[in-house]
Amino acid sequence: MHRPDAPPPTLRLRIDEEALASNWRTLDRLSGSARAGAAVKADAYGLSAAKVIPVLRDAGANDFFVAHWGEVGELLDHVPASRISVLHGPANAQDSAYARALGVRPVINSLHQAKVWIECGGGPCDLMIDTGMNRLGVRPEELGDPLAGRLEIETALSHLASADEDSALNPLQLSRATQAFAAVSAKERSLANSAGIALGKDYAFDLTRPGLALYGGVPRGELAGSIRQVVTPEAAILQVRTVQPGETIGYNATFTADRPVRAGIVSIGYADGFLRCWSGKGVLRAGEADLPLLGRVSMDMAVIDLSQAPHLREGDWVEIPWHLPEAAARSGLSQYELLTTLGHRFSR
């Protein structure tokens, strides 16, 4: 029996591809003599790797970073395997065999991973050096180990822990990275993420690795005005109803109407990344009209006040303001969370 196509979703993400390309070009320019790559892990920060990667590639990006081996396949239709680095590295022989078969570069994060990679036959790889993050990475004092010396290192990496702040850790990590990079034989060096690019040319080395700022995030004030908004979620109104004075809305009755309220039930909830922290303080938008949220956000629905938009009807679309710095300040979520928690029910 033929299965008909599902009706179109009542959620959609508008992705401004020109803004995305512009952000990469801006970050590449701000990287000075270094070139900018692109962190496209977590399905390109929730936007859809399949949509984002061709835009970044055509804008000029040539180096792509994912976290998991399972993310590699999405990239292979768009970029050469040799330009893909997998940040979590090879935990075992199976990971190593997969990388070697495709020509993808593993990021070596420990002497154990170095041993696993070499025993599988080795080949081009990247090396992560921990200069103060205390997550993944070979410690600087381990760089003299013979295993490290046997690696065929394309790029020596480190990662800034506090680049979004004016922290004493930033120049300390820069100093440590400079010394560590000099201690290994690598074709290129990379330290700066999006915020690190804003710290200046000393942090850029040969390759920068922007992520958040590609997608509209502004991790430091120096980038404000240069980075464009990329993502705008929209949701359809499922129902319009009048809530009478004294009636309540939503779970736990946290909102009570003090007048007749023309309310819209909107097809978005915390399952879509529009989390309950928005309850009571978020607004949706139709044109220039702000539409305050009423009551608590549910899993699949939210309720808005339509008083300022009397023209809206069932089936009409409203916008969820998603300028990341402003949305983070209003919601209490990080700009990273605002992107990566966007659910899979959006058409992209």
Out of 203, 251, 281, 336, pick the active-site residue: 251
* Catalytic residue selected from 41, 45, 270, 336: 41
Cβ pair 263, 241 in contact under 8 A:
yes
Q: What is the distance between the alpha carbons of residues 105 and 80, in angstroms, rounded to a whole number?
A: 11
Non-local CB neighbours of 72 within 8 Å, separated by 6+ positions? 66, 81, 84, 86, 98, 102, 104
Cα distance between residue 84 and residue 76, in whole Å = 9
Distance CA 293, CA 152 (A): 55
51 is catalytic: no
Q: Is 131 helix (H, G, I), strand (E, B) or coil?
A: coil
Query: What DSSP string runs through 170-225?
Result: HHHHHHHHHHHHHTS-EEEEE---HHHHHT-GGGTTTEE---GGGGT---SGGGTT
Measured between alpha carbons, how far apart are the two ends of the chain, in Å?
29
- Based on the residue annotation, tell me whether 336 is a catalytic residue of this protein: no
* Closest by CA position to 130, among listed 87, 164, 69, 167: 87
Which residues are part of the catalytic machinery? 41, 251
